Amino acid sequence: MTTKPFVLIVEDHPLFKQALSGLLRLGFPDIDVDSTADAQEAFAFLETRKNALEQSVMLLDPGLPDISLPELMAQLSTRFSALPTIVISGSDDPLVVSLCLGAGVKAFVSKLVAPDRIVDLVGRTLRGETDGQMWLTVNGPVNIDSLQKVKLTPRQLDVLYLVCKGLTNKQIAEQLEVNEITVKVHLSGIFKEFSVSSRTQAILAAQRMGLKPTSA
C-alpha cells in the first residue's frame, strides 16, 4: 500500500466537487487529490490507502445519498478514525454538527465559507497545525465549548433504526435478541445524547440526520 498523502473529496454535487478539486490541485500540486460521489466508493478507496490515513485529509459532505449521517459517522469512527476529516455542509444544524464532532471529525465547515479559507484549513490539517476541533461558519468560528457532542454506539444505532420503523420495545427486543430492559437502557442513552425525552422527539432528531421512519 502506498504511504503518499492524499486529499479525498466525498461529495455528490458534481459542480461543487469539481470546483473544490480544482482549487486543491492548484493549492497542493504535490498531493494526490481524488474524489468520490458516495460513501461506499469512499470506503473502498480508503481501504487501499490505509497506510497514508494519518498524513491525509478527507473533505466530506454529510448528506450523501447512499448512507445516513449516523451510520456514516459510525463507519468513520470505527474504521478510519486515523484520517483527519473535515465535514463541509450546506446546513449548520447544531444537531448535525454535534454528531459529526462527537464522531471525532477535525472540523465542521459551512459551504458558504470562502474557498480560500477551506484551502487554508486543508493545508494546516495536512501539516498537523490544527489543534482540537472547530466549527467554522460564514461568520467565523463558533465556540463549541458548550456544544454537546452526540455519540451513538453501534447498538444504539440499531435500536434507533427500529424505533424509526415504529417497532415497540418488545418487538425491538425480539429482533435484536435481547430483553426489553436492555432496549430501554439503549433508548435512555439515545434520549440523553439527543437531549430529548420521547420517541417522537428522537425520531424527529433522527430525520434531521438522514434516518427516515418507515413502516415496520
215 occurs within a structural domain = no
Same structural domain, 70 and 19: yes
Distance CA 36, CA 42 (A): 6
β-strands 140-142, 134-137 pairing:
antiparallel
Angle at Cα 153 formed by Cα 210 and Cα 131, nearest 5°?
A: 85
Same structural domain, 34 and 110: yes
Beta-carbon count within 10 A of 133 CB: 17
Distance CA 164, CA 206 (A): 8
Residue numbers of the domain that contains 177: 154-208
Q: What is the pTM of this model?
A: 0.88
Strand, coil or helix: 82: coil
Same structural domain, 52 and 78: yes
β-strands 57-60, 6-10 pairing:
parallel
Q: Quick: pLDDT tens for 160-201.
A: 999 999 999 999 999 999 999 999 999 999 999 999 999 999
The pLDDT assigned to 1 comes to 63
CATH number for the domain spanning 194: value is 1.10.10.10
Q: Residue range 55-84: average pLDDT? A: 93
H helices present in 141-198, as ranges: 154-164, 169-176, 180-194
Total structural domains in the chain? 2
